[in-house]
Amino acid sequence: MIIPFKKEGLYASSLRVNSEEKLVIAVMGQDILLHASQDSVPRLAIAAEDADILKFFCVNRVHLGQWWGSDCEVWELMPEASGCDGFVAVELRTLLAQSADAEFSLASRAMQLVDWHKKHQFCGQCGASNRVSETEHALVCEPCAIRQYPRISPCVIVAVVSGDRCLFARHPNWPENRYSTLAGFIEAGESAEQALHREVFEEVGIEIQNIRYVGSQAWPYPGQLMLGYIAEAKSENIKIDGVEIAEARWFKYDQLPSLVAPTTIMAGRLIQQFVDESKAVYG
Ligand SMILES: [Zn+2]
């Protein structure tokens, strides 16, 4: 028996609950189409009847799970869909920067599933076409009996702190005053902690200690899972690699760079926590 999900926001189930209300997330390239009804703000989850007009431009439909208990599909659309009345295209990055946690997960998942389907149409071993599993979120090659699942790539992101200061780095292609925390992919065979020590040492030449886990967030570029941490630096002597990082500096909690990430994304959340904790001690 399928029990309908009653909790808040996204439930990434592979099974449908056959809810009365059906919802659609409309993905078009790197954009998401929001439904701009006249009486409210544009909506990410579009009622199926409102999405009907988009069917003509739909090239793939994937069941995504439930959104507030209602079955939800993501539709991959041709660029021509942008001309449909009542819809507004928003770039995914812009949407994520402005979204609350629940909407953030929903948009991320929709984009990731579309991308995964597009890139895993054929078996990596024999080259035969994969088919969509009816029982779980998987693509199946029958001859090889191989099941492919959406690929999730764990990354670590860390605010390295020293007393009332936090280490910020600037990437070579970023503007002069834009800085962020350090981040990198976890390598095969590594633990998250090992990845943290390695990434920080490789990028800025600093050893860390007292690592604290803060939280995680899906980040769809593509399929990353950001694991967020705060760690203490053993020393303040920066040695940058000059390749991944153009510049790294210590900033006091009340004199941060002018351009830092919004708190809707993990980097911003770590920075905010550092500021709050510093205020409590030094403020
Ligand atoms: Zn195969």
Q: What is the pLDDT of residues 224-254, one digit of tens each?
A: 999 999 999 999 999 987 777 889 999 999 9
Distance from Cα 269 to the centre of ligand 1, integer Å: 42
Q: How far is the CA of 79 from the centre of ligand 1 (A)?
A: 32
Residues 150, 116: contact at Cβ < 8 Å? yes
Nearest 10 degrees: Cα torsion 203, 204, 206, 210: -70
Q: Which amino acid is at 264?
A: T
Q: Tell me how far the alpha carbon of residue 145 lies from the centroid of ligand 1, in angstroms.
A: 7
Per the DSSP assignment, residues forming a β-bridge with 159 are 230
Of 11, 24, 92, 90, residue with least CA distance to 54: 24
For residue range 8-19, list pLDDT tens digits in order: 789 998 889 999
Query: Do residues 31 and 92 touch, judged by C-beta distance below 8 A?
Result: yes
According to CATH, where is 3.90.79.10 located in the chain? Answer: 153-282
Q: Say how many Å lie between the CA of residue 126 and the centre of ligand 1.
A: 4
Find out whether 16 and 79 touch, Cβ atoms under 8 Å: no
Does residue 2 carry a pLDDT above 60? no
Helix (H) or strand (E) run with residue 101 in it: helix 101-119
C-alpha span between 193 and 199 (Å, rounded): 10
What is the structure's pLDDT at 201? 95
Amino acid at 15: L
**How many Å lie between the centroid of ligand 1 and the Cα of residue 62?**
22
Distance CA 109, CA 104 (A): 9
Q: Are 44 and 34 in contact (CB under 8 A)?
A: yes
Architecture of domain 10-119: Alpha-Beta Complex (3.90)
Taking the centre of ligand 1 as the mean of its atom positions, its distance from the CA of residue 134, in whole angstroms, is 18
* pTM metric for this prediction: 0.86
5/165: higher pLDDT? 165
Q: How many whole angstroms from 158 Cα to the centroid of ligand 1?
A: 39
User: Ramachandran region of residue 157, left (φ > 0), alpha (ψ -120 to 50) or beta?
Assistant: beta
Ligand 1 centre distance from Cα of residue 138 (Å): 14
Ligand 1 midpoint to CA 128 (Å): 5
Q: Which residues contact 270 (CB under 8 A, 6 or more apart)?
A: 157, 158, 159, 181, 214, 228, 229, 230
Separation CA 84–CA 100 (nearest Å): 26
Class of domain 153-282: alpha beta
Q: What percent of the chain has pLDDT over 90?
A: 72
Name the more confident of 259 and 27: 27
pLDDT at 146 over 80: yes
How many angstroms does the Cα of residue 140 sit away from the middle of ligand 1? 8
Q: Which residues pair with 266 in a beta bridge?
A: none
Q: What residue has token string 């920080």?
A: 200
Which tokens is 258 given? 């002018």
Give me ligand 1 centre to Cα 121, in Å.
11
Beta bridge partners of 72: 23, 65
Instruction: Check pLDDT > 90 for residue 95.
Output: no
Q: Cα of 151 to ligand 1 centre, how many Å?
A: 18
φ/ψ (deg, to 5) at 131: -115, 155
Partners of 67 in the β-ladder: 10, 70
Q: Which residues surround ligand 1, an ion (CB under 5 A)?
A: 123, 125-126, 128, 141, 144
